[in-house]
Homo-oligomer: A and B are copies of this chain.
């Protein structure tokens, strides 16, 4: 059965993300990705210039979503309600990006060294500055970071807590909103 035209690139992305999230970036070889797809390594190199290029491609949609949210937020006056809305929208973006978040979360050293990873971390950092005043107390600074983190963490906790994804997600969002400065 032949692969449908234009499908291969997308299939590489899917399999790569799956493996990167599951067993890590370094431990996942291009040979393994190719084998799962029933092609050779050389075929991968036709679609992506390097291994890192696959990661870059994986981050693209996520980066675009985050940038859109950030530029929207920049146009609004900073109020407690804006902050809550930013967290809600951020949570919505994360929903579709579970494996990417897990990959980012659990492959710090590898991600840090890649351009796309550094960009994503920088975006994450920039969000914290929307959620809390620069001169807020240290505990509030930490709470704001933890708020974003609680959403990321939901993906890890789902495996540990016995409850369905929808419920965990809703609960994580509730916790995240509680962690914002009350002003």
Q: In this complex, what residue of B is CB-closest to A154? A: B142
Minimum distance in angstroms from A159 CB to a CB of chain B: 11
Cα–Cα, bound, A106→B117 (Å): 13
Binds B, one of A63-71, A78-86, A91-99, A163-171: A163-171
Q: In this complex, what residue of B is CB-closest to A137? A: B171
Structural contact, A174 and B139, CB atoms closer than 8 A: yes
Cα–Cα, bound, A149→B146 (Å): 9
Q: In this complex, what residue of B is CB-closest to A19? A: B109
List chain B residues, Cβ under 8 A from A109.
22-24, 27, 106-107
Total interface residues in chain A, CB < 8 Å: 38
Structural contact, A150 and B142, CB atoms closer than 8 A: yes
A110 at the interface (CB under 8 A from B): yes
List chain B residues, Cβ under 8 A from A174.
139
Contact of A157 with B142 at beta-carbon distance under 8 Å, contacts A106-B109, A107-B108, A109-B22 already known: yes
User: A residues bordering B, Cβ < 8 Å?
Assistant: 22-24, 26-27, 102, 105-110, 113, 125, 137-139, 141-143, 145-146, 149-150, 153-154, 157, 160-161, 163, 167-168, 170-172, 174-175, 178
